[in-house]
Amino acid sequence: MTSNPNAWTVNFASDNVAGAAPEIMAALQEASTGFAMPYGNDDLTEAFRRRTMEIFETDLVAHPVATGTAANSLALSVLSPPYGVVFCHEGAHIEEDECAAPEFYIGGGKLTLLAGDNGKFSAETLANKLGDPSAASAVHHAQPAAVSISQLTEKGTAYSLDEIRAIADVAHAHGLKLHMDGARFTNAMLSLGCSPAEATWKAGVDALSFGATKNGAFAAEAVIFFDPQAAKDFEFRRKRGGHLFSKMRFLSAQL
């Protein structure tokens, strides 16, 4: 802290300690006037969905939720059956900091942890863990279902576009979907110098937890599926998980 009111103050405790951006405050104030249809059937939510398709340059499905844990857990619950395995880094947020919520929402799923320096695992590590993609599935084993990477990672590092593509290639060769925990996605995108499309579906990402709380929002995240067919069960899982907000426009206004 400093006694100089004009000096910069930097808090390195967590990006969760920051306040809300003035633009978010203004958007919420504007959204609070008048009436709107509930449960996401409002103009702001529809505008958010259209804007998301413009930003990512493709047809997609985008659903607001309130927390990153909900975004990750509900996304993975769509990508994995109850007997499925989700592969992630041993230091991933879904492993270390989400109180087994992914396993809970999947309904019995299993996280399998992969080692790697600086918060990242490699395509080679994933391939070695998965083995021969043509091997017959054994009924005694939990079945591989999805892969999850964090961007940025918990160490503040970023997967390069080539690293993402390589991991996606391995995952897809085994019939697995690739999920990206994008709590700090915009930071990673800017550091890589690429577009949102290049950082996600063009590199092989199937589903994205799109962070906003760490970028100026009060409480707003989104789950984005780049294959609309893969998202067909999401709305039911979101409702069952308590994240279908009556006044959804207040989440959409932030996004």
- CA nearest 148: which of 196, 190, 218, 101? 101
Is 78 within a domain?
A: yes
Burial of 255 (0-12, 13-18, 19+ CB in 10 A): buried
Confidence of residue 10 (pLDDT cuts 50, 70, 90): confident
- CA nearest 104: which of 80, 126, 88, 87? 80
Using the predicted structure, report yes or no on whether residue 158 has a pLDDT greater than 60. Answer: yes
Sign of the CA dihedral running 154, 110, 224, 170: positive
Is 8 within a domain?
A: no
Number of domains in the chain: 1
Strand 84-89 to 110-114 pairing = parallel
Using the predicted structure, report yes or no on whether residue 49 has a pLDDT greater than 90. Answer: yes
Q: Phi first, then psi: what are they for 191, rounded to 5°?
A: -70, -30
Judge contact between 209 and 188, C-beta under 8 A: no
Is 7 within a domain?
A: no
Using the predicted structure, report yes or no on whether residue 135 has a pLDDT greater than 80. Answer: no
Is 187 within a domain?
A: yes
Is 222 within a domain?
A: yes
Across the range 131-154, mean pLDDT stands at: 87
Is 28 within a domain?
A: no
pLDDT single digits (tens) 56-114: 999 999 999 999 999 999 999 999 999 999 999 999 999 999 999 999 999 999 999 99
Strand 61-65 to 221-225 pairing = antiparallel
* Dist CA 125 CA 139 (whole Å): 24
Give the CATH number of the domain where residue 57 resides.
Answer: 3.40.640.10
pLDDT score at 139 = 86
Is 112 within a domain?
A: yes
Is 31 within a domain?
A: no
| Total-model pTM | 0.93
Domain that holds residue 166: 41-131+140-254
* Dist CA 90 CA 113 (whole Å): 5
* Dist CA 177 CA 159 (whole Å): 17
The string of DSSP letters for 22-61 reads HHHHHHHHHHTSS---STT-SHHHHHHHHHHHHHHTS--E
